[in-house]
Amino acid sequence: MRGLLRFSIAITAFAALLAVLSLVGLSPKSLMEAALLAMTPLALAAVGESLNQKGGVVNIGIDGIFLITATVAVFGAEEFGSGYAGMLVGACVGAFLGFVHGVLSTYARANQIVAGIGMNIFAYGFVPYFLMAAWGFPGIRVPPSWVLVPIRVVTVGEVSVRISEFSVLAVLLAPLLHLLLYGTPVGLRIRACGESPEAADVAGVSVYGIRIALSTLGGALAGLGGAFMSLAWFGGVVKEISAGRGFIALACVVASGLEPLLSLGFAFLFGFSEALAYAVAVTPGVKEVVPYHLVLSIPYVVTLAIVAVFVGRRRFPRALGQPYVKD
Amino acid sequence: MRPLKSSVVGVLTRLVEASLALAIGLAISAVLIAVYGYDPARAFYWLFYGGFGTWSLLFDTLAYATPLMLTGAAFAVCASTGMFNIGVEGQAYMGAIGAVALGGLLASQLPELAPAALPLALAGSAGLGALWALGPAVLKVLRGVHEVISSIMFNWMAFYTAMYLVRGPLMNPARPEMSISVVPQARFPVLFRGSILTNSIYVAVAISILAYLVLRMTRLGFEMRLVGSNPDAARYAGVSVSRTTLVAYLLSGAIAGLGGGLIVVGRPPVWSIYGTLGNVVNVGFDGIGVSMIAANNPAAVVLSSILIGGLWNGSRFMEPYAGVCSELSRAVIGLIVLALSVPGVLRMLRRRTVLELTVAALSAFVLRTFGVLRRGLGRWSS
């Protein structure tokens, strides 16, 4: 009951905000469309990572996975001549990177934070190298528009909305994974691996198997998010395309206390703040007064504020980030 | 004092481990280079010739190593206290801004301050670096926000703030593609004619060694290491964990800020920040690699920064002579960090080879997946 009340208060406040914004000349519809686009990569990665962390593995390298998959997805799309093939390539490469992180965090007993930092630094170097090696042009690639993933126009009555099927997928995935986590035996095992890997192991659960599988799934979803960024949202790739969004996705996960449903909500909030920042930055009357570069840092400020408010109330799995060593 | 023999063995093990990680990094990059049709041998020849091939190239390498030494030492100080200060990147941006603001703008506006421009610029970098570290530190102590997430947000805020300042209030009116330069009194003298190596390297070495001594010889350093290795024991021993965390983070931010500042006051010919921040970006992230290779020991950072500085310097030669994009050197650093994330790579290697380990992990995973599938199918059909 209290949850429902809070939810309706949040919705009312949001509607009021949209009404105020429409008074200054920002169209609520185009803002929402932009927010959904910005939300999608964050939501895909955050939902996967919250499951991963429930199983006890932290992957700080999501930002690197975003970067690498955004780039190779464009390559795949051009090779196969289809944006959807590019999305698949992105998901597969992301799954591979997640798998590597999973193996490092289990069998190799790596320090997961250090491994994630390594993945990110590798991506910061690999992506410019790949852009140069594949297309011979530094720092940017804009593919021909027919290999991009189109944004659908859905018409309901008189209103037509631009929306991507991957945004719908992201929104559907959150409740599905929530059900998996809390309604199935598999979910129980996942949570056991995060809370008490020793007990799970004694009960016959393969801790390493579950952790590697979740890390791979998290990587695949982050890869889908990265591919979405370049192929559907921006329509091309630049070497700093992720702009720290991997860490914003991590912030969603942490602020939600590893709950897939809540992290979807936070992903929307961050997506909206980003859409708002861009809209404000180009609004006549505002753009002359507020410096462009300072407006662009709004999403990061919002992220900090939200994490600072919510993180203190959360409880995290006991074995989160700890390598499990079998005796 | 630890027995000499065990320290020698420890240092040697670490050296072999670091070389092994470097070898793994280079081997995987060689594959990446070969896949795209370049010649790995040629690329690595120019990478290492460019970094260490002649005396003058070695001096340039030392010049590139100078700021990396400080960002590395900054990360090491925090790591000894059990924290990952990924924010060294943003703290270095703000340090460079501090040097330009006090050593450039202020010193040129008030000529009577010009004789003291160098200490002023250094104080500006350290102060602004520490200020940028204050946010993540306070959020961690008061709200329990993990420093990795908060400091990345501060990195991006630093990026956009620095971008705004360099193209706005701090822009050089004569050359709009960069910020104003620091006044001549704020520049470290060049050590060798024609080289970009300046006296600033002495400052970097001194601060790294000082950081080591503080960690090893002082009460504060002992408390920091205690909090890093076991916060509960530290609390039990009466050490204030929040205070130590805060001090360590601010210290780290000040050192990282100095690292960014030395790029401005310690490297010819521009003595300023490019409008793209091109000469400052990645100095923090590569400093993380420097610190990892040095096992987060601020004194050993002096040596490992020369290796990474050499990769930076040599990559400028790899691009024109072997065609390989210079940024690949950063991928090598990332791979080195990945290899070093595994504890005791060497011990593991002695037992069985990395190849066998990978194969074992892969096959175990595949077999398990098939087992699960088969069991699932069996249940389905029965």
Each residue of B128-157: pLDDT tens digit? 999 999 999 999 888 888 888 888 889 999
Alpha-carbon gap: B319 to the closest alpha carbon of chain A (Å): 10
The predicted model gives B234-254 an average pLDDT of: 91
Same domain, B157 and B256: yes
Residues of A within 8 A of B289 (CB-CB) are 121
> Which pLDDT does position B2 carry in this prediction?
56
- Give the CA distances from residue B86 to residues A31, A118, B74, B139, B210, in Å, rounded to whole numbers and listed in that order: 33, 12, 10, 15, 22
Same domain, B337 and B368: no
Q: Which long-range CB contacts under 8 A does B237-242 form with residues at least 24 apart?
A: B242/B141
Same domain, B156 and B200: yes
Same domain, B180 and B222: yes
Determine whether the interchain pair A124/B330 forms a contact, defined as Cβ–Cβ distance below 8 Å. Answer: yes
Q: Which residue type occupies B274?
A: Y
Residues of B within 8 A of A118 (CB-CB) are 334-341
The predicted model gives B237-246 an average pLDDT of: 90
pLDDT digits (tens, 9 = 90+) for B57-78: 999 999 999 999 999 999 999 9
The count of structural domains within chain B is 2
Preferred mutation among A131, A137, A247, A290 to probe B, highest tally of B CBs within 10 A: A247
Same domain, B127 and B188: yes
Q: pLDDT 10s digit of each residue in chain A, 327 long?
A: 566 777 777 778 777 777 777 777 777 788 888 889 999 999 999 999 999 999 989 999 999 999 999 999 999 998 888 889 999 999 999 999 999 999 999 888 888 888 999 999 999 999 999 998 888 888 888 888 888 888 888 888 777 888 888 999 999 999 999 999 999 999 999 999 988 888 888 888 888 999 999 999 999 999 999 999 999 998 889 888 888 899 999 988 988 888 898 899 889 988 988 888 888 777 777 767 778 888 888 888 888 888 888 876 677 888 888 888 876
Residues of A within 8 A of B365 (CB-CB) are 99, 103, 209, 212
Same domain, B243 and B357: no
Helical residues (DSSP H) of chain A, grouped into ranges: 2-23, 28-54, 62-80, 83-105, 112-135, 165-183, 185-195, 197-202, 207-228, 245-255, 260-282, 292-296, 298-310
Provide the 3-class DSSP secondary structure of residue A155: strand
Preferred mutation among A304, A309, A316, A325 to probe B, highest tally of B CBs within 10 A: A304
- Confirm or reject contact between B270 and chain A (CB < 8 A): no
- Select the more confidently predicted residue: A310 or B8: A310
Of A111, A297, A304, the CB nearest to B150: A304
Residues of A within 8 A of B361 (CB-CB) are 103, 106-108
Res B382 pLDDT > 50:
no
pLDDT digits (tens, 9 = 90+) for B81-135: 988 899 999 999 999 999 999 988 888 888 888 888 899 999 999 999 999 999 9
Domain that holds residue B54: 4-349
Determine whether the interchain pair A117/B336 forms a contact, defined as Cβ–Cβ distance below 8 Å. Answer: no
Of A247, A293, A311, the CB nearest to B160: A293
Q: Calculate what percentage of chain A has a pLDDT beyond 90.
A: 38
Q: Which residue type occupies B298?
A: P
The single-letter DSSP state of residue B270 is T
Determine whether the interchain pair B150/A254 forms a contact, defined as Cβ–Cβ distance below 8 Å. Answer: no
pLDDT digits (tens, 9 = 90+) for B170-229: 888 888 888 988 888 888 888 888 888 999 999 999 999 999 999 999 999 999 999 888
> Which pLDDT does position B361 carry in this prediction?
61
CATH code where residue B198 lies: 1.10.3470
Same domain, B378 and B330: no
Find the residue in A nearest to B329 (Cα). Answer: A125
Determine whether the interchain pair B149/A208 forms a contact, defined as Cβ–Cβ distance below 8 Å. Answer: no
Determine whether the interchain pair B331/A125 forms a contact, defined as Cβ–Cβ distance below 8 Å. Answer: yes
Cα atoms in the 13 Å half-sphere on the side-chain side of A239: 20
Residues of B within 8 A of A252 (CB-CB) are none
Residues of B within 8 A of A115 (CB-CB) are 338, 341-342
Same domain, B75 and B117: yes
Provide the 3-class DSSP secondary structure of residue B171: strand
Preferred mutation among A53, A124, A320 to probe B, highest tally of B CBs within 10 A: A124
Find the residue in A nearest to B35 (Cα). Answer: A133
Return the domain boundaries, chain A: 39-242
Preferred mutation among A66, A75, A109, A117 to probe B, highest tally of B CBs within 10 A: A117
Q: Which long-range CB contacts under 8 A does B368-373 form with residues at least 24 apart?
A: B368/A206, B368/A209, B369/A209, B369/A213, B372/A209
Determine whether the interchain pair A114/B341 forms a contact, defined as Cβ–Cβ distance below 8 Å. Answer: yes
Average per-residue pLDDT for chain B: 85
Res B38 pLDDT > 80:
yes
Residues of B within 8 A of A296 (CB-CB) are 160
What's the pLDDT band for B381 if we cut at 50, 70, 90?
very low
Q: Which of A217, A191, A193 is nearest to A326 (CA)?
A: A193
Residues of B within 8 A of A254 (CB-CB) are 145-146, 149
How does DSSP assign A250-303, residue by residue? HHHHHHTTS-HHHHHHHHHHHHHHHHHHHHHHHSTTTTTTS-HHHHHTHHHHHH
Q: What is the distance between the alpha carbons of residues B49 and B257, in angstroms, rounded to a whole number?
A: 31
Determine whether the interchain pair B149/A250 forms a contact, defined as Cβ–Cβ distance below 8 Å. Answer: yes
Res B1 pLDDT > 50:
no
Same domain, B314 and B359: no
Q: Which of B37, B303, B284 is nearest to B155 (CA)?
A: B284
> Which pLDDT does position B380 carry in this prediction?
46
Determine whether the interchain pair B337/A117 forms a contact, defined as Cβ–Cβ distance below 8 Å. Answer: yes
> Which pLDDT does position B97 carry in this prediction?
95
- Confirm or reject contact between B282 and chain A (CB < 8 A): yes
How many Cβ contacts (< 8 angstroms) between chains A and B? 177
Preceding peptide of B3 cis, ω within 30°: no
**Bridge partner residues of A237 (DSSP):** A141
Same domain, B260 and B375: no
Q: What is the distance between the alpha carbons of residues A117 and B118, in angstroms, rounded to a whole number?
A: 34
- Select the more confidently predicted residue: A1 or B271: B271
> Which pLDDT does position B191 carry in this prediction?
87
What's the pLDDT band for B363 if we cut at 50, 70, 90?
low
ipTM score assigned to the predicted complex: 0.88
> Which pLDDT does position B72 carry in this prediction?
95
Alpha-carbon gap: B7 to the closest alpha carbon of chain A (Å): 24
Same domain, B372 and B290: no
Determine whether the interchain pair B334/A118 forms a contact, defined as Cβ–Cβ distance below 8 Å. Answer: yes
> Which pLDDT does position B325 carry in this prediction?
84
Same domain, B280 and B373: no
- Confirm or reject contact between B166 and chain A (CB < 8 A): no
The predicted model gives B254-278 an average pLDDT of: 91
Determine whether the interchain pair B343/A111 forms a contact, defined as Cβ–Cβ distance below 8 Å. Answer: yes
